[in-house]
Amino acid sequence: MDQHVEIRGFDAKDLDACYAVSLATGLAGGDASHLYRDPRMMGHIYVAAYALLEPALTFVVEDRIGVAGFVAGTDATSDWEERLERDWWPSLREQYADPADMPPASRTPDQRRAFMIHHPSRTPPAVAAKYPAHLHLNLLPRLQRRGVGSKLLGTWLDAARSRGARAFHVGVNRANTGAVHFWRTWGFEPLALDGLPESRTLYMGRDD
């Protein structure tokens, strides 16, 4: 990692940049900006809550151009999902209509994300019980394949371990083969647990 790239804790001024990174990496790792009318839909779900409610486990990476990636997560997934239901989703549900009465196939990308806000899917209990900590890591192409993602992940794992975390999971879009490879290099393996349904999301886990 070169001297002009810095990893640091999240600051409130980074929020808009984190939203932008989430959108720019939201299509199986590629740019999803052409899909959404509301550019904040992805970030509402995948980064903003962590940044604002769990800032001690949110880190950004910044180069000369600006913030180009983040890692965010929690050390207690089940508790976190309860907290989202209490402290995060209600205000968003006031902003976005619930498209539940529309056939899923006819929903726009924005409406699919709005459905997730109104009806968030819970992490399968078998995953949350065995691998309680989880995280999201997103990195813009300009900093990929330079060791930055590994440094960012290592920073987060150290912070989570300091809070007692010893087993971790991620949910990866199966179509994002680059991400699947990255997590495998860090010891995350696809999970085959009782009660784990087949879906577009591939759950991967590791124990320390």
C-alpha distances in Å from residue 89, one per residue of 48, 106, 123: 11, 24, 16
* d(C-alpha 78, C-alpha 150), whole Å: 26
Higher-confidence residue of 124 and 198: namely 124
pLDDT single digits (tens) 63-117: 999 999 999 999 999 999 999 999 999 999 999 999 999 999 999 999 999 999 9
C-alpha distances in Å from residue 19, one per residue of 65, 73, 74: 16, 15, 18
Q: With bands split at pLDDT 50, 70 and 90, how would you rate the model's confidence at 144?
A: confident
HSE at residue 53, side-chain half, CA atoms within 13 A, is: 21
Pick from 107, 11, 17: nearest CA to 55: 11
* d(C-alpha 22, C-alpha 45), whole Å: 9
pLDDT single digits (tens) 37-52: 999 999 999 999 999 9
Domains of the chain and any CATH numbers: 6-207 (3.40.630.30)
pLDDT at 194 over 70: no
Helix, strand or coil for residue 158?
helix
* d(C-alpha 109, C-alpha 4), whole Å: 36
Q: What percent of the chain has pLDDT over 70?
A: 96
Amino acid at 53: L
C-alpha distances in Å from residue 72, one per residue of 83, 100, 146, 206: 16, 29, 20, 17
pLDDT at 201 over 90: no
pLDDT at 56 over 80: yes
Q: What pTM did the predictor assign?
A: 0.93
**Average pLDDT score over the chain:** 94
pLDDT at 174: 87
42, 23 in Cβ contact below 8 A?
yes
C-alpha distances in Å from residue 101, one per residue of 24, 197, 204: 29, 24, 33
Tokens representing 94 are: 């006031």
pLDDT at 192: 82
Backbone angles phi and psi of 171, in degrees to 5? -110, 120
Q: With bands split at pLDDT 50, 70 and 90, how would you rate the model's confidence at 3?
A: low
